[in-house]
Amino acid sequence: MPQRPKVFRDPIHNLIALHKHGEAVILDLIAAPEFQRLRHIRQLGLSWVSYPGAEHSRFTHALGVFHLARRALNHLRGQIAIDPEDYLATLCAALLHDIGHGPFSHLFEALYPEIDHEAETLRLIEPDSRLGQVLLRHGGRDLQSRVAAILSKKHRPVFLCQLVSSQLDVDRFDYLLRDSHMTGAGYGRYDLEWLLHCLVAAPLETPSGTELVLAVDGLRGLNALEQHLLGRHFMYRHVYFHKTTRSAEMIVKFILRRFSDLAKAGSPPPGAPPALEMLARGEPLPPGALMRLNDNVMIALFQQWAENPGADGVLQDLCRRLLERRLFKTIETDPADSLRVNSERDSLQALVWSGGFDPDYYLILDEARDVAYKDVTWQGREGPYDTVFITGEAGGLRPLTRFPGALAGLMDSPYHIARWCLPGDHGLIERARERLRAPDRLV
């Protein structure tokens, strides 16, 4: 009697089935503590302060990325031969691509630049690690090295790397639909089925020789691709860069800055995990230390600091603001006008001081930028193309920039925000707006 598959019910892709025969390594990777930890890291960091439904985790996203990688590979196998070991390694890489994330997802990397989730992911699958041992047990050193090469974008054929990480990857395919669904913001919806159907792996002549790259059938798939890229652009504008979310992120930044300052002064507040204290002191983390941190650990720590009667006053206030959703208010400014920004900074610092707040922890210029599509050229033998290619009527490949269409004006034109964040207490934000003569835009 055939064994029944392991089935996950997913709100985006419905049923994701895994078979013990042939996909046992995937099941063992999912069961590993490093992967289970992703249940406790929200996919959208602090977006739950803006969108109540944004509670989904990196765990569900990683399963979705694996599922779409499998679908894409099965589709491409109808066109070209794919080595069975490459097929399995690509599935493992797609599943594991996010395991190196710290708490609050990308925010943690912005706070601690020495943390790179991609580099951490590679550390977590080294041969002597638990995940590395899973890969070795199922496929030997060959499987482990192929997965690492795909994640580090050094594997050939190139299209396998691009499928996992590029401007046309299954990571983006999943998170746009998932984040749109869970937030209720419809900007990221696009025709996934047709875009998958129009994927091709095609030869491209490069200075290093012929490479097999991922592309879209231009006769049929160009509009679906445009819809996908525009959806991502609008998700950044309306969801990922939402001013309320960014305000909460700035408070977390100040919480951890205050913690670091106290730790360096020799009086660290109690309860901090060793990994956080090491980061505060600027010490490198030992392998696996980041795995002890997640969103739940951090929120519990903030709760402890908020409720400790003997806690530092600034740290306690900032933690309470986050937990009670008493966030900073925002004032937009022009990031291109440096003289104006410097003048505004001086004026706002004096105003924040007059309100009884230290500007080092209660005033910040929040800047963020993204671009709908970057025209990336060949980076050398060690790096695959990140350019999105389109097949032409007469064969051959051309970069997407030759078909601007609906993306005209957005290619290589970054969306750049700049907002002052400061407390709204005691009429402070009203006085700040009056002083800066800014429009009334409250969080």
pLDDT in tens, 252-281: 999 999 999 999 888 889 999 999 999 988
* Structure confidence at residue 385 as a pLDDT band (50, 70, 90): low
Specify the residue for token string 């490198």. Answer: 284
Least confident range of 1-10, 242-251, 267-276: 1-10
Predicted confidence at residue 377, as pLDDT, reads: 59
Q: Are 275 and 285 in contact (CB under 8 A)?
A: yes
- 278-292, 319-333, 406-420: which is most confident: 319-333
What are the CB-based long-range contacts (under 8 Å, 24+) for 136-144? 137/28, 138/24, 138/25, 138/28, 139/25, 139/85, 139/88, 139/89, 142/85, 143/25, 143/85, 143/88, 143/89, 143/92
Average pLDDT over residues 58-78: 98
Residue 73 has pLDDT above 90, yes or no: yes
Predicted confidence at residue 382, as pLDDT, reads: 41
DSSP alpha helices (H): ranges in 308-358?
Answer: 313-323, 338-354
State percent of the chain over pLDDT 90. Answer: 74
Residue 372 has pLDDT above 60, yes or no: yes
Q: Are 280 and 264 in contact (CB under 8 A)?
A: yes
Average pLDDT over residues 24-49: 97
Predicted confidence at residue 221, as pLDDT, reads: 92
Average pLDDT over residues 120-124: 94
Predicted confidence at residue 420, as pLDDT, reads: 96
Q: What DSSP element (H or E) covers 166?
A: none
Q: Which domains does the chain have, with CATH numbers?
A: 6-241+388-413 (1.10.3210.10), 328-371+415-443 (3.30.70)
* Structure confidence at residue 250 as a pLDDT band (50, 70, 90): very high
Predicted confidence at residue 86, as pLDDT, reads: 98
Residue 400 has pLDDT above 90, yes or no: no
Residue 379 has pLDDT above 70, yes or no: no
Least confident range of 161-170, 238-247, 335-344, 390-399: 390-399
Rounded to whole angstroms, the Cα distance separating 243 from 429 reads 15
Please count the other Cβ atoms lying within 10 Å of the Cβ belonging to residue 267: 9
Rounded to whole angstroms, the Cα distance separating 237 from 227 reads 15
Predicted confidence at residue 441, as pLDDT, reads: 46
Rounded to whole angstroms, the Cα distance separating 348 from 100 reads 38
**CA 131, 135, 141, 146 torsion: positive or negative?**
negative
Residue 384 has pLDDT above 90, yes or no: no
- The tokens describing 102, both together, are 């710290």
In the chain, what is the straight-line distance between the N-terminal and C-terminal CA atoms, in Å? 59
